[in-house]
């Protein structure tokens, strides 16, 4: 599973979704979907703008959490 850590990054900077929208030019609805981890797809250009605005790297915004394999639990 891929987690979007936008809420964490905005909280660290004490930024609102509205401020990020103003700074990046990304629609507020798009930012809200990312913030609440409701996005199925993410635009790479949007990710780049967010990274630039928050002065972070992509790995600071996205993290992969492996699914547990039921076969591995049996061992």
Element (H, E) at 74: helix 70-74
Inside any domain, residue 75: no
**Does residue 66 contact residue 2 with C-beta atoms inside 8 Å?**
no
Element (H, E) at 10: helix 6-13
Inside any domain, residue 74: no
pLDDT one-digit tens code per residue, 6-56: 999 999 999 999 999 999 999 999 999 999 999 999 999 999 999 999 999
DSSP bridge pairs for 4: 62
pLDDT of the residue at 72: 65
Specify the CATH number for the domain of residue 57. Answer: 1.10.260.40
Domain count, the chain: 1
pLDDT of the residue at 4: 96
The boundaries of the domain holding residue 18 are 2-62
pLDDT of the residue at 75: 55
Inside any domain, residue 31: yes
Inside any domain, residue 70: no
Rg, C-alpha atoms of the chain: 14
Inside any domain, residue 24: yes
pLDDT of the residue at 53: 98
Of the two residues 70 and 45, the one the predictor is more confident about is 45
């Amino acid at each position: 599973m891929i987690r979007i850590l936008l809420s964490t990054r905005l909280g660290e900077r004490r930024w609102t979704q509205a401020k990020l929208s103003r700074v990046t030019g990304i629609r507020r609805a798009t930012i809200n979907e990312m913030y609440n981890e409701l996005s199925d797809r993410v635009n790479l250009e949007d990710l780049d703008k967010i990274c630039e605005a928050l002065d972070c790297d992509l790995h600071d915004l996205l993290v992969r959490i492996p699914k547990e394999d039921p076969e591995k639990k049996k061992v």
